[in-house]
Each structure stands twice: as structure tokens, then as C-alpha cells.
Amino acid sequence: MGETEPAAARAACEGTQGRSVSVNGRAYAWPAQPTVVVCFDGCDPAYVAAARAAGVVPTLERMCREGFSALALAAMPTFTNPNNVSIVCGVPPAVHGVSGNFYLDRETGADVMMVDATPMRAPTLLAAFSQAGAKVVAVTAKDKLRKALGHGLSGIAFSAEKADAARADENGITDLAALVGRGAPDQYSADLSLYVLPRRSPSCRRWMIASRASSPSAPGSASSPTMA
């Protein structure tokens, strides 16, 4: 990333001071600086606290100390799709329509796995800001969330899982292997999460990092991944 790119992004944000975007009945202030939201799916806050106490996550520690850090109640049920869609829509499942990782097809009576934005009934913050002129990027580890998080988004939306298949008309970007410096990793590897860190500096950005295999160890224990 060039030295001037972050400065240009900050200048673009500063030129929009006082602006706001209304989404689902709420007004959101335009970012005062390039903004990144990272979602660690399935990560117990206790593991983050243990890692911070152990001094093994200095960047995350600095972000929590110098920025904003707080715990919030999860959307119910506490599955991946209802909570990720609640985050990007700013409203609960009763409003945005995604109440689980599966939904009932009323016409056929079949249980359908959610792999796109079909059950969504509300627009996302990412889409609203992109349509208002912000440069927005949505990056997920698994492709099953990419269409939901990128619903209505005028910008870049891709998954690490399907990075090699990214197209300009579908994802807003091509040739990710050249940008990142390597091809897409295996969809079940921990490396899939690392791949979602793109070399971009948009006004608003959202990363969804898939959880690794559940740890059999308590936070802070010698065999816990936070202590490795």
C-alpha cells in the first residue's frame, strides 16, 4: 500500500464531516477517518481477555486501549447468520428477517441453508454508505455470507474461500491472487482467516473472520491457543 493512500482516505473522510446516512430508522454519522470493523465469528470474549493479559495480541490491545472496546448482547439465536446480518443492518432478526442459518421455504416446506440474501428484509449499513459515496469493502472468510453482507453494496465484496473466482461484475474486483500475493487457501484451514486482510484503505470496511476449530482448553490455560 502506498504511503499516500491512507492520507487520501483520511482527507476524503474529513471532507464529509457533518454528513449522516439513515438506515433502518437510525442515523449514522459519516466516518471521521477510515473505519474497519472486524468480526471474529464464534470467539468467546474470555479468550480475547486472556490473550490481552498474556501480552500476545499487542495490536488488538492497543486498539482496545486507545479506541473503543465494549461487550454487547448477541442476537438470538446466537448463530452466525442472524448475528452477522444484525451487525451490518443495525437491527435485530425480527426486523431484518434472518433468524437462523436455515430458513423455511413457505412454498415447498423445505429447510433451506442460507447462502445468499434471499431471507433479508432490510438494507445494510454497508450498502447505504456505499450508495451515498463511501468506498466500502466487505470481505468474508466463507462465501456463504458474502452475498448477505454485500447485499446492495456498490463496491467490493468477496470471500477468501472463492477469491480465485472473483469477478468485476459479481465482486467488484478481479485478480485477487496478484493483489494478495497468493491464491485462495483451503476453505477449512486457519489460513482462510488471514487471507481476508486486503491491501486497501476505503472509508468503511468490514472483515468477517471465521472462527477456528473450537478450543478444548479454558482461556488462559497452558494449552489454550491464546497462550501458544
| Cell output for 131 | 450508495
Cell of 180: 494478495
Q: 23 near 29, Cβ under 8 Å?
A: no
CATH number at residue 143: 3.40.720.10
Least confident of 16-20, 41-45, 128-132, 215-219: 215-219
Return d(Cα 164, Cα 159) in angstroms, integer: 9
State percent of the chain over pLDDT 90.
43
Model-wide pTM > 0.85: no
3-state helix, strand, coil in the chain (%, to 5): 30, 15, 50
In a domain? residue 100: yes
Are residues 164 and 199 in contact, defined by beta-carbon separation less than 8 angstroms?
no
* 219 inside domain: no
Q: Which residue has the higher pLDDT, 184 or 214?
A: 184
Write down the residue that cell numbers 469477478 correspond to: 167
Q: Is residue 225 part of a domain?
A: no
Q: What is the pLDDT of residue 216?
A: 62
The reported pLDDT for the residue numbered 67 is 83
Determine, yes or no, domain membership for 59: no
Residue 125 is assigned to a structural domain of this protein: yes
pLDDT-derived band at 192 (thresholds 50, 70, 90) equals confident
Q: What range does the domain containing 147 cover?
A: 4-43+73-209
Give the model's confidence band at 128: pLDDT under 50 very low, under 70 low, under 90 confident, else very high: very high
First to last CA, the chain: 30
Q: Does a structural domain hold residue 11?
A: yes
Please give the tally of structural domains in the chain.
1
Write phi, then psi, for 10 (nearest 5 degrees). -65, -40
CB 75 within 8 A of CB 93: yes
Q: Are 10 and 33 in contact (CB under 8 A)?
A: yes
Asked if residue 191 belongs to a domain, the reply is yes
* pLDDT given for residue 213 in this prediction: 46
Has residue 221 been placed in a domain? Answer: no
Across the chain, mean pLDDT equals: 82
Distance separating alpha carbons of residues 208 and 196, to the nearest angstrom: 8
